[in-house]
Structure 1
């Protein structure tokens, strides 16, 4: 039997279905509209930014590094552009296979491979690492033609640092090197991390390190539209990089070269300062090194030669190495005696050739002594006995307090990294230096040795030069500096590094004059006379000899001592005597008497600075010099 439904029931059911379906569709459309509203309106900025990030790449523009020039415009550090072949390890199909295949296209020798591996250890896998630098145009074209074979390998245009004078003044200028993990950590901890995006190099030593902020410049940025494959399509905007500031130094490179040449193959240091400003005219440490070796990443062989050399060419002896000053300490001791009232200029002593103290005999260099000695004679003939007695009268605290005013035993504040403090001995210093109570006790005999520049005394050539500058500048101590101007490369404006007075030592003019007269006589009839014979100007100075090891009462005979155990040779000087334009300290390691090695070097430097006279050869070692004491 067939069942029939009433039309009204069928129509009602259909209407309910339509309403339910319509309501369901309406709810779906409302949810979709709400989602569209949320995404297109409420989250517009977020998704727009993400889309733009996918479409736009922000590329850093590395700034040109500032140049370094001397006071006369001689270039010490500059930049040049060149092509490099670089590998991104994470993008290659096999690093060693890639390098082997590349060597069939371009010359890649064993040295390139060693340097690459060393740089690879200091880099991250997603960073590109150079395997060849300074590609020729022909080599670039040869690689580009086969570029498709080498994923992860590309040619980049890079700026390279160049030091055109090579090893000359390298300890002052320093060098740059690739940024390693330790550098990255230091950069990330600072406030300038964004400024190093894209940068591969950073200052490692010398002025390149201490003036890194000024030399580096400001990194620029370029907005580039990229496709889905990450390749640039067009440039949208650009913020140019700001070239780093140039540095104009107080250094006179001609004077620097003459000083370096004067040393010949000898080890040592020289610092020459302009007394009225503290500007460093020359700062020499020999032997030296070529900073260009470090720019591309120094090879293992070159590093081994420099690092293992017994002459330590990487050591900046002028500011880091501290030596006993020997008799160059005596003018300051004499001034201390006058200033404290322990001596007058006319007061004399009888020098029998020794000084007895606590049952020990401290010997003078001259057998039989110098007879009757006053302040003037004590400096001219370098009489030890005079200063043995003076040291005993002043006491160690009196000596230390006076010498500290000249900056001895403290960092001068020079604008180069790595300066040492040196040692100005005192009972307080000894307590800090030694641990055991019996070692901390100060003995009277130690004061006697300090009085002639021996014992625990140890100062850098920089400290001695700065002390001489203060002496001839009537007690005004300046902070020495190597940079004279920081030059804005955009505007040409120069920011002067102003001379910075540190302190004024209370000295009486007549006391300073008495010491300076004696120092002038040193180079006329005393221990420096041979080196300055025939000089058309007056120069004040003092020779010095510093013991390397204890003689234990025996007499020093140079020819019977191994070369590296021989005495160090010192000479301090200023010229011209009446209006000093230069004050300097010269140290020749194991050079013997001060007049024998150090004084002839000072003569060549002063001759050039005052007269423009150029020597024909290195300063001679005056083997015939007759010197009973210095």
Structure 2
């Protein structure tokens, strides 16, 4: 019997202890609530944890919607609501209300929000069960947010960095454009067809714009933007009654076609680009750099828009919760001389070709051009589909950036071959007997023969070979140099390696596999055919290395870059002087006589590269000319023009070069 009583007593004690342990504690309730908050389970937060007075004041629909909408609009991420229990147990016995602290942290589109909140928990009895409930108000969402307040998002767009040339001339600036629009009450619909044709759009589009809900009879309805460079066209359009052309902010490219491929332009965000850039703070409405330096330096030029989250009180006062200050994009200054670029463009604009000018002592790139070109202002303001189609289908490919490509250098290669051969023991005074127009080493070459264009000399030394661009002479000294020495010599000029230049340029190659596989290939490569490929930038810079007595500078495009040597000891000073003398004779006594300009001592080397599938067939010809003024050797100019066979070959390029020198300072 005693044993039974003992068991009953023990059970009573256990039940009493269990009842005590199961009694709800406010800190446990708050911990559970913050766990739900971190998971953004707003419905359950409302249903199970809020006081009766709270649910009487705030409807569930409003509570849940406000949290969800604000967190979405503010782009809330990494939400972290924390209640840290004190190390010592707290005594909540006999209390009907307690206050406990929490910390609320989150990342938003305008930066981090971090604040503390004191939470009031009240004991309530529901369905015969007692528990702790939270007295909620709007300050749980954001600090100091009161009922009736509005949460606003402020944005201050960053000014995009501008691009200038070496003399401070603007190449890409935050300028203006004409915005063509109609005032409905002043516009006669009889002019609809005429206006649509001038704007290269449809009458339906104009009517659609004029029919928008916001339009009032006296409002200007925007239709299309035009660059300031198209002033004459705008003046023609605004002759139509009711059509106006106020100026509006726009990215502007003052040198238009002359710098299009180098500078690029802004364009609309595509879905593909947005996927790549959305984590960097871009929106679908942002405009980004398309092509050229606008794209290459997008991050630097773009800057960072200022953003803020603030509360607007009913009386109009505001209180900032968090903000990211605006950071304007960085300006850039190039080594380019815009007026030189423009002058060169004027001489080449109808050609398919490319050109560059480099200072041989510093490596500064003064001009970098691709022609024909396009007006980037059209693209940034919204080019018409018909206009874009015309550019795409133009056989001269004005959208193609040619200065980044590699071409067969033709006979301009002979200056480099001369350097390699001299370094490998060539005696410049040694004469080669070349009596005929064609030559082959022996019968092992089969039907293949090297052909020379001019037969002025039958006893040919280096001077004569350069003056008259003798393919046979250079084929023979190529064979004497040997494939191994020839390839090693070209590697010293930077063949086969990345060009250390700000703008991506195709690397020059000795051949498709980097090797010379036969005597015929070696002979061809020595006079600039074979599989040799060079960009116009590398070609000009290689001649800079010769003219600069064996030191080739790293080509630089940004004013902030320091001049630095890229390749040294390319040839001796003695050999450099010899080649410079011969380059001058190419103009005074040789095949580039049409390059002579009064008051200048033009020197250089011509080149014609025939692009064909096999010997014996006719292909297209590219004509090149690398030149400089020995009276003022602060610029080496290389021009390559495509498809010159019917226009005099490389002589045509020489004539274009001459016109540039005559018109440039």
* Common topology (TM > 0.5): yes
Equivalent residue of 1:265, what SS? coil
Tell whether the 8 Å contact from 1:571 to 1:587 is kept in structure 2 after alignment: yes
- Contact map agreement 1:216 1:244 (CA 8 A) in 2: yes
What CA deviation, in whole Å up to 9, does each residue of 1:187-234 have, x standing for no partner? Answer: 246xxx13x358611111111112222211221123343589xxx955
Of 264, 280, 292, the match for 2:365: 280
1:5-84 correspondence to structure 2 within 5 Å: 33-34=122-123, 39=134, 46-49=140-143, 51=145, 55-80=150-175
Task: Check whether the contact 1:574–1:584 (CA below 8 A) recurs between aligned residues.
Answer: yes
2:431 counterpart of 1:351: no
| Aligned counterparts of 1:520 and 1:512: Cα–Cα separation in 2 | 12
Of the candidates 386, 395, 401, which is equivalent to residue 301 of structure 1?
Answer: 386
TM-score, scaled relative to structure 1: 0.70
Q: Is the 8 A contact 1:210 1:415 kept in 2?
A: no
Q: Determine if contact 2:371/2:398 at 8 Å carries over to the other structure.
A: yes
Q: Does 1:445 align with 2:520?
A: yes
Answer yes or no: is 1:502 the counterpart of 2:566. yes
Matched, 1:340 2:424: yes
Distance in 1 (alpha carbons) for counterparts of 2:146 and 2:266: 37
Q: Is the 8 A contact 1:474 1:507 kept in 2?
A: yes
Which stretches in structure 1 are left out of the alignment for 5+ residues?
A: 1-25, 86-103, 118-129, 145-156, 431-440, 485-495, 555-560, 613-630
Counterparts of 1:26-425 in structure 2 under 5 Å? Answer: 33-34=122-123, 39=134, 46-49=140-143, 51=145, 55-80=150-175, 141=219, 159-188=249-278, 193-194=280-281, 196=282, 200-226=286-312, 235-237=318-320, 240-320=325-405, 322-341=406-425, 343-353=426-436, 354-359=438-443, 360=445, 362-366=449-453, 370-417=457-504, 419-425=505-511
Aligned residue for 1:602?
A: 657
Secondary structure of 2:155's counterpart equals: strand
When residues 221 and 569 of structure 1 are mapped into structure 2, their CA distance, relative to the original with a 3 A threshold, is same
Q: 2: CA distance between counterparts of 1:38 and 1:83?
A: 63
Cα contact 1:63–1:219 (8 A) shared by 2: yes
Distance 2:587 2:177 in 1: 54
Matched residues in 1 for 2:94 and 2:176: separation?
Answer: 66
Residues 281 and 38 (structure 1), Cα distance of their counterparts in 2 relative to 1, 3 Å cut: farther
When residues 356 and 47 of structure 1 are mapped into structure 2, their CA distance, relative to the original with a 3 A threshold, is closer
TM-score (norm 2): 0.66
User: Could you say what secondary structure the match of 2:552 adopts?
Assistant: strand
For residues 60-110 of structure 1, what are the alpha-carbon distances to aligned partners after superposition, in whole Å with 9 as ceiling and x for unaligned? 32111122222222222222478999xxxxxxxxxxxxxxxxxx9xx9969
Q: Is the 8 A contact 1:224 1:233 kept in 2?
A: no
Cα distance change, pair 367–188 in 1 and its aligned pair in 2 (3 A): closer
Q: Write the distance in 2 (CA, Å) between the matches of 1:84 and 1:258.
A: 30
Q: Distance in 1 between matches of 2:511 and 2:145?
A: 69
**Which moves more between the two structures, 302-311 or 361-370?**
361-370
- Is the Cα contact below 8 Å between 1:251 and 1:281 reproduced in 2? yes
2:606 paired with 1:543: yes
The offset of 1:34, in angstroms, is 4.7
Distance (whole Å) between structure 1 residues aligned to residue 141 and residue 253 of structure 2: 50
Aligned-residue offset at 1:450: 0.9
Indicate if the aligned counterparts of 2:365 and 2:557 stay in contact, CA closer than 8 A: yes
Distance 1:83 1:272, change over 3 A: closer
The separation in 1 between residues aligned to 2:218 and 2:562, in whole angstroms, is 48
Preserved CA contact (<8 Å) 1:318 1:461? yes
Q: Does 1:462 align with 2:537?
A: yes
Question: 1:65–1:243: 8 Å Cα contact kept in structure 2?
Answer: yes
Tell me, which stretches of 5 or more residues in structure 2 are unaligned? 1-92, 99-120, 125-130, 181-188, 223-246
1:523 CA displacement:
0.9
Q: String of CA shifts for 1:213-263, please: whole Å, max 9, x gaps.
A: 2211221123343589xxx95554475523222222222222112211112
Q: CA 1:141–1:290 in 2, change beyond 3 Å: closer, same or farther?
A: same
* Cα offset, 1:302, TM superposition: 2.2
Q: Tell me if the contact between 1:113 and 1:131 (Cα under 8 Å) persists in the aligned partners.
A: no
Alignment check: 8 A CA contact 1:531 1:595 kept: no
Relative to structure 1, the CA distance from residue 52 to residue 545 in structure 2 (aligned partners, 3 Å threshold; closer, same or farther) is: farther
Q: 1:583 aligns with which of 616, 636, 639?
A: 636
- Change in Cα spacing, 1:382 to 1:80, as seen in structure 2 (3 Å) is closer
CA distance, structure 2, for counterparts of residue 476 and residue 131 of structure 1: 62
Q: Following the alignment from structure 2 to structure 1, what is the Cα–Cα distance between the partners of residues 460 and 219?
A: 81
Query: What is the rounded CA distance, in whole Å, between the counterparts of 2:144 and 2:397 in structure 1?
Result: 55
Measured on the aligned residues, the alpha-carbon RMSD in Å equals 4.0
- Aligned with 2:465: secondary structure? helix
SS for the counterpart of 2:333 is strand
Deviations 1:383-440 (A, max 9, x none): 11111111112233322221222234544233224x22243227x436xxxxxxxxxx
8 Å contact from structure 1 (residues 527, 595) kept in 2: no
